Chain A
Amino acid sequence: MTFSGRKPDRLEDEATVYRALLRKQWIDATAGSVEPDAFYLRKNKNEIGLSVNLATVYTPEQCAARFQTCYGVASLVVGQVRQLGLDVVADSPSHANILGLPYREDNRELADRLAELLAQQAILSWQPKLI
């Protein structure tokens, strides 16, 4: 996979990525945690991976600002994601995909489990201030 005409640098295990939380229901407001709902692939969109932004390029606020509606931003550590048998691969200098997740339509057991484990790893890093 290349971008800008060169092979991308491999993301270090210590790297942090941000997942924009596009639905209110992806956040457990009581616990201050992220729900597994945020970590399912959409087969009808032919998604190959879960979209994330690199923390070396964006702040959580900047990540959120890229979306019309964003209820929060979750951070994940690349090395921890890899420990689940997944990978995080950059496709541009600022963006990456979490790869290796199955569609729920194809493997509901593994899709549910990985969504749950990613949610447990995720840290709710940013939420919009209440007015």
Chain B
Amino acid sequence: MVTSFKTQGITTTLQNLVALLELEEEDDYGILRPNDYAFKTAMNWALEAHTILKNDFPQASASTDHLGGVRLTWKNSDQKLTVRLTCPADPTQPADLYHSSPDDYAVEDLTSVATLVRWLEWLNLA
């Protein structure tokens, strides 16, 4: 049961990401459909992390900010842990990773897949 769930992690994440491309370009709040840069950045980080984590890659929800950037969010609801990858629409801005527990939180620039992998393992092992 658990293995089956984990195997679906990357599949569900990619499905959630691709579903963003089918949204209207804009809504009353702002840009709704991700721009190409943000989408590809998010896709690449997810795929790179999956090559290392394989079946331990947890499933993420996907959303867009009001500027066309992409957010991938992983949650461990039992432990109230969150890892959130933000890929801005602006290519001059770095992707970053927010991670939080009930007692601590931080954001760091994402420059290496090792950082993403480390925090997803933290989420999995809690």
Contacts and interface: CB of A to CB of B under 8 A. Distances in A.
A and B from one assembly? Answer: yes
Interface of A: 22-23, 25-26, 28, 31, 35-37, 40, 42, 44-45, 67-69, 108-109, 112-113, 116
B interface residue count range (under 10 / 10 to 19 / 20 to 34 / 35 or more): 20 to 34
A30 to B, nearest CB: 9
A112 B107 contact: yes
Interface stretch (B2-10, B24-32, B37-45, B118-126): B24-32
A77 B62 CA distance: 28
Contact of A23 (B29, B82, B86): B29
17 contacts: A22-B29, A23-B27, A23-B29, A23-B32, A23-B63, A25-B61, A25-B62, A25-B63, A31-B77, A36-B73, A42-B29, A109-B98, A109-B106, A112-B98, A112-B105, A113-B98, A113-B100
B64 interface: yes
A23 B26 CA distance: 11
Contacts of A35: 61, 63, 73
B67 interface: yes
Contacts of B98: 108-109, 112-113
Nearest to B31: A44
Contacts of A40: 65-66
B interface secondary structure, majority: strand
Interface of B: 27-30, 32, 61-67, 71, 73, 77, 82, 84, 86, 96, 98, 100, 105-107
Contact of B100 (A45, A67, A116): A116
B105 to A, nearest CB: 5
Contacts, number: 56
A28 B61 contact: yes
A44 B26 CA distance: 15
A108 B73 CA distance: 15
B64 A25 contact: yes
A69 B27 contact: yes
A31 B30 CA distance: 26
A42 B30 contact: yes
B61 A108 contact: no
